[in-house]
């Protein structure tokens, strides 16, 4: 039977070092905080774990491709245009003529006094993705010439647990990708626990997937919910195969545990939080960029923290990063200067930030 899909647009540029595989969606962002019933207007944007990581990796100097499927609709075209505009190769994204692009609405808490208001700094996502184009991802992807070319050349392949929850075919794709080991390629896997996606599926499929990765990223809170523990040492024992297990303890500390027993922990930056959505993806991108660039473990963790801090000070799933000079200064900062650094929507301040940039190092904004 002839293939019904059409490929996404091509993008000239260097061959991608990293490839992210998984669903992304159109996003409707409210024009004001408060419960959805009180919102009059929404702004269209795009989001999704794997494309968020791809965009942030590209911003951090890592040529990156995103592989997925979108519907042959306006939301799908918007997704492709925006991700490509941010420097990501979308040449292996298939356009499905029969299934729609996934969609979610973001609800942002405020101080409206409404009884259903989530409260300042909190947000909730409402998904409409069942039967989406991306849910039809399958091992057939490996035979697609555009996808096969990108996967063959990648030094880093990034996956997440979200894909496993979308469909049996998506789960089969993850298993196939994890089974296809290639010399010189790191496979990273972010749990990205989404309880709502697992109501009709068995999360027991997740542990073997996580243990098959080279680099495992876990939030302590989500690991507690999914596996009954958020303790880094216990999780390292639970998943013995990855070379590195990174456990993120929300706004406090992130610990990287190697297979040989070595552990490095780094505290988070102080942040004036606007909203939390996208911070986990930003941390993953920062840590992975540090890995690809050959940084030591502590600097990888710091780059993850800095990327996450920028996302925390922006509406939407992506945020602008500080200048290269500021990044370098913070990665090399003493523990005391790192601890004294603060990130807000108007800038980064602290003794490690170059004086001439202390007020304009960061201009995080919603995308």
User: Which residues have a catalytic role annotated?
Assistant: 281
Tell me how far apart the alpha carbons of residues 67 and 49 are, in angstroms, rounded to a whole number: 12
Q: Are strands 186-190 and 156-160 parallel, antiparallel or unpaired?
A: parallel
| Tokens describing residue 128 | 């409409």
Q: By C-alpha distance, which of 34, 22, 29 is closest to 45?
A: 29
Tokens of residue 358, six digits: 């202390």
Residue 300 exposed, middle or buried by CB count within 10 Å (0-12, 13-18, 19+): buried
CA 107/CA 210 separation, integer angstroms:
30
Edge-to-edge, what's the strand order for the sheet holding 69-71?
Answer: 6-7, 94-96, 69-71
Q: What share of the chain is helix, strand, coil (3-state, %, to 5)?
A: 35, 20, 40
- How many of the other CB atoms lie within 10 Å of CB of 183? 4
Q: Which of 133, 154, 148, 173 is CA-nearest to residue 48? A: 133
Sequence-distant (6+) residues with CB within 8 A of 204 are none
Determine the Cα–Cα distance for residues 155 and 14; give it in Å rounded to an integer: 13
Contact 244, 236 (CB under 8 A): no
Q: Cβ contacts of residue 224 below 8 Å, gap of 6+?
A: 230
Residue 344 gets which letter from DSSP? E
Residue linked to tokens 């004036």: 272
CA angle 33, 35, 38 (to 5 degrees): 85
């Amino acid at each position: 039977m002839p293939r019904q899909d059409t490929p996404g647009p091509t993008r000239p540029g260097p061959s991608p070092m990293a490839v992210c595989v998984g669903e992304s969606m159109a996003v409707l962002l409210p024009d004001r905080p408060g419960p959805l019933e009180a919102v009059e207007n929404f702004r269209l944007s795009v989001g999704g774990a794997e494309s968020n990581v791809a965009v942030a990796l590209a911003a951090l100097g890592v040529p990156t491709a995103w592989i997925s499927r979108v519907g042959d609709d306006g939301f799908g075209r918007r997704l492709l245009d925006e991700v490509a505009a941010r420097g990501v190769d979308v040449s292996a994204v298939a356009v499905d003529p029969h299934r729609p692009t996934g969609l979610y609405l973001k609800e942002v808490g405020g101080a409206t006094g409404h009884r259903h208001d989530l409260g300042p700094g909190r947000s909730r996502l409402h998904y409409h993705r069942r039967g989406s184009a991306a849910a039809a991802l399958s091992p057939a992807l490996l035979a697609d010439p555009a996808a096969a070319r990108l996967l063959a050349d990648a030094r880093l392949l990034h996956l997440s647990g979200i894909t496993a929850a979308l469909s049996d075919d998506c789960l089969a794709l993850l298993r196939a990708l994890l089974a296809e080991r290639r010399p010189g390629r790191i496979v990273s896997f972010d749990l990205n626990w989404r309880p709502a996606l697992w109501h009709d599926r068995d999360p027991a499929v997740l542990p073997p997937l996580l243990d098959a990765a080279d680099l495992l990223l876990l939030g302590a809170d989500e690991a507690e919910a999914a596996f009954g523990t958020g303790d880094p040492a216990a999780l390292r024992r639970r998943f013995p195969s990855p070379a590195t297990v990174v456990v993120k303890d929300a706004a406090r500390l992130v610990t990287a545990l190697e297979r040989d027993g070595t552990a490095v922990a780094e505290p988070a930056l102080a942040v004036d939080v606007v909203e939390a959505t996208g911070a986990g993806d930003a941390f993953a991108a920062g840590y992975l960029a540090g890995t690809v660039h050959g940084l030591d473990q502590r600097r990888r963790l710091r780059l993850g923290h800095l990327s996450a801090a920028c996302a925390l000070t922006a509406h939407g799933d992506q945020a602008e990063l500080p200048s290269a000079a500021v990044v370098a200064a913070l990665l090399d900062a003493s523990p005391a200067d790192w601890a004294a650094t603060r990130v807000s929507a108007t800038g980064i301040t602290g003794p490690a930030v170059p004086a001439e940039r202390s007020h304009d190092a960061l201009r995080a904004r919603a995308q």
